[in-house]
Structure 1
Amino acid sequence: MRKTTRSAFAAACAALAVTAAACGTTSENTGQAQPQDPRQSCGGPDGKYTIGMSQANLAEPYRVRMDADIRKAAEQVPQFEDVQFSDAGKDNAKQVSDVESFLTKQVDLLMISPNEAAPLTDVVRKAYNSGTPVVLLDRKVNGDAYTTYIGVDNVDIGRQAGEYFKDVLFPDGGKILEIRGLSGSTPAGERHDGFMQGIEGSKIEIIGQGDGDWERSLGQEKMDALLKAHPDAQAVYSHNDPMAEGAYLAAEAAGRAQQLKFVGIDGLPIEAGGIRSVEQGRLQATFLNPTGGEEAVEAAKKILVDCRPTEKKQTLPTELITKENAGEVYARLNQG
């Protein structure tokens, strides 16, 4: 791949051999984030750019939609000549290799939604410290060696879910099962912590938990075991909609689907997504979790084309989706 010619600033930076901190090209593997000057990466509106997008997996409909949103938004930016996608298949070692491959190809910007935080931290830091802008989507790594993070506030979304249980579903208390996401991914911990904050002071009790790794089939498997261990359960809080759907299927097979309430997170505006599940009565509610694909492309354009800095963190909005507003939200999110 032909590497895009960088800005005049970057050329001058190399020619004059200014400090490593200014260029951000040395100490790639140190434990610290090196300063990254946004002008270094920008070639302006006359440049052509290659972006590498490293996806944690494509087993989740949410991640398929994220890639599609990136692809669609990038088509509207003529300077984005090539957007390359990789699928780690939930394999941390493969995702590290995918990122290394993008760096070898000298992509102009890296997007990544990490499978798990700790195993991806070093390679993301390496990319960032080498001068490659890094856009994190939905999931974080440890530390601050990245250009920008785009996603919902997962603690807040968990808190809102907890408050919905406390204020609406079980104001007098209830016994809840929790289907958690992949334990090493940051949203799983944050959505649990937020939920505990949301139910604080109530008589709601989490009586059983299982890790569904974000997948419907595993959510169903975990729910089947949890129902047998906890026949007194009254509801399920799931860290995403596919696992909530899996939990519903397990409860249906056990003849208990109508006795339990199910709440998920994601609210994908697709026929097989959480909004339709709410409309059709399988889920009582879901919470919108935008993919950030469009915002990631906007950030890339800022960095590479407009020569403007980006915010370190861009928090995307969420909203509660129930049967009352599901149709309106679905239509609104599919406009255009």
Structure 2
Amino acid sequence: MRKSIILVLVLLLVVGSVSAAFAVDKQQQVVNTTRFKKDPPWVIGYDIYWLGNTWSAQFAEEFKQAASMYDQLIKDTVITSSEGSVEKQIRNIESMIAKRVDLIIISPNSTSGLNSVIKKALRANIPVVLNAVAIDGDEYTTFINVTDRALGKAMAEWLVQEMGPKGRIFVINGLPGLGVAEARWEGAQEVFKKYPKIKVVLQDNGDWSVPKTKRVVSDMLAAYPRIDGVWGDAIGHGIMEAFEEARAPFVPFATPSDNNGFLKYWAKNKSKVNAIGVTKPVWLSKLSLDLAFRVLQGLPVFKDNYIPPNVVTNDNVEEFVRWDMPDGYWTYSTLTDKRAKDLFGE
């Protein structure tokens, strides 16, 4: 138990230092959490926003693994699943409020649709930690994420660097309506607006699904077999497989992916692939729990906390690929190998 408590304290210090290192604007706003201070063990409510792809499944599993390490601090975890539905997420949060959980962690399925129920939780003196997805306004306790807008911008900047200041590109967006996908594309547009000779010839949603992304890109290539680049908020090998099956020349691909299946394909085909993966780590859910511990101890936290994305390139892809792990696995992870293999059925 002594070792576990020391580990918790180390993790809390790490979160504090990360927050300080990336503090700007609301990130500089310090939240006084003394009103939420309670003695452990605590009951933590955690809503799984969506399980529509392997990233979201591993994101949830990272939280479960982290929570299992702290039985001396956590009495119970109330875990619900919203399946991408705003209405269901509202009901799940209301259920947690009724159960008087000590804290709620959510990844909002809407930037504005949950504001009222979050306010209801705060009025009940239940702090709310936003995990990897932002909302409009500031009616929440604290927030942890990478900067999705900056992530999308970095992808676009790399693409311009690789293809030059003019050309025709495909754009593959993520899940429509989710703030993460919207922020990434907004960041990319900041860059593309500076280069009027870069033309988005086709744009569609891949829904962060490999089969749908492959189908969308295949249809695009049928209409425009010659293209200069792809900005894809997508799991990368859906894009690459579409190009390969169409026998289209490979172009620079900008993605947010460190998915192992994508990295395996990329590493095997380095001679013809020019890509970047500006990634959002699945262990953000673990950091949300670390922030929760700070709040429930009455320790100060920053309103918004950001960590830098990991960046995979042709130069370092072999450092991140895991040949011994399933294709569904996301390699920038803290999961044990056994837990990851159990999750993905291998």
User: Normalised by the shorter chain, which TM-score bucket?
Assistant: 0.7 to 0.9
Q: Report how far residue 283 of structure 1 moved.
A: 6.8
Q: Report how far residue 200 of structure 1 moved.
A: 4.4
Q: Report how far residue 190 of structure 1 moved.
A: 1.4
CA distance in 1, matches of 2:164, 2:207: 30
Sort the Cα spacing of 1:217 and 1:128 in 2 relative to 1 into closer, same or farther, 3 A: farther
Match of 2:35 among 20, 36, 40: 40
Aligned partner of residue 225 in structure 1, secondary structure? helix
Match of 2:220 among 211, 217, 226: 226
Aligned partner of residue 112 in structure 2, secondary structure? helix
For residues 61-85 of structure 1, give each alpha carbon's deviation from its aligned partner in whole angstroms, at most 9, with x where no partner exists. Answer: 2211211221222223221122232
**Which residue pairs with 2:207 in the alignment?**
213
Aligned partner of residue 136 in structure 2, secondary structure? coil
**Which residue pairs with 1:182 in the alignment?**
175
Q: Report how far residue 96 of structure 1 moved.
A: 1.7
Work out whether residues 279 and 322 of structure 1, in 8 Å CA contact, stay in contact via their aligned partners in 2: no
How many pairs does the alignment contain?
291
Sort the Cα spacing of 1:266 and 1:87 in 2 relative to 1 into closer, same or farther, 3 A: farther
For residues 296-315 of structure 1, give each alpha carbon's deviation from its aligned partner in whole angstroms, at most 9, with x where no partner exists. Answer: 111011112x3202111011
For residues 83-135 of structure 1, give each alpha carbon's deviation from its aligned partner in whole angstroms, at most 9, with x where no partner exists. Answer: 23222222222222222222222211111112222323322232233321111
Q: Report how far residue 153 of structure 1 moved.
A: 0.8
RMSD: 2.4
Counterparts of 1:1-336 in structure 2, within 5 Å, are: 38-44=33-39, 47-77=40-70, 78-167=72-161, 169-202=162-195, 203-241=197-235, 244-256=236-248, 258-268=249-259, 271-272=260-261, 274-281=262-269, 284-291=275-282, 292-304=284-296, 306-329=297-320, 333=332
Q: Report how far residue 37 of structure 1 moved.
A: 5.8
Structure 2 residues not aligned, in runs of 5+: 1-30, 323-330, 337-346
Give the counterpart letter for 1:96 in structure 2: I
Q: Report how far residue 240 of structure 1 moved.
A: 3.1
Aligned partner of residue 40 in structure 1, secondary structure? helix
Q: Report how far residue 285 of structure 1 moved.
A: 1.5
Work out whether residues 90 and 115 of structure 1, in 8 Å CA contact, stay in contact via their aligned partners in 2: yes
Q: Report how far residue 183 of structure 1 moved.
A: 2.6
Q: Report how far residue 150 of structure 1 moved.
A: 0.7
Structure 1 residues not aligned, in runs of 5+: 1-35
**Which residue pairs with 2:344 in the alignment?**
none
Sort the Cα spacing of 1:299 and 1:198 in 2 relative to 1 into closer, same or farther, 3 A: same
Work out whether residues 278 and 285 of structure 1, in 8 Å CA contact, stay in contact via their aligned partners in 2: no
TM-score (ref. length: structure 2): 0.76
Aligned partner of residue 279 in structure 1, secondary structure? helix
TM-score (ref. length: structure 1): 0.78
Give the counterpart letter for 2:299 in structure 1: R
Structure with the bigger RCO (C-alpha within 8 Å, sep 6+) is 2
Percentage identity across paired residues of the two chains:
23
Sort the Cα spacing of 1:128 and 1:229 in 2 relative to 1 into closer, same or farther, 3 A: farther
CA distance in 1, matches of 2:77, 2:321: 28
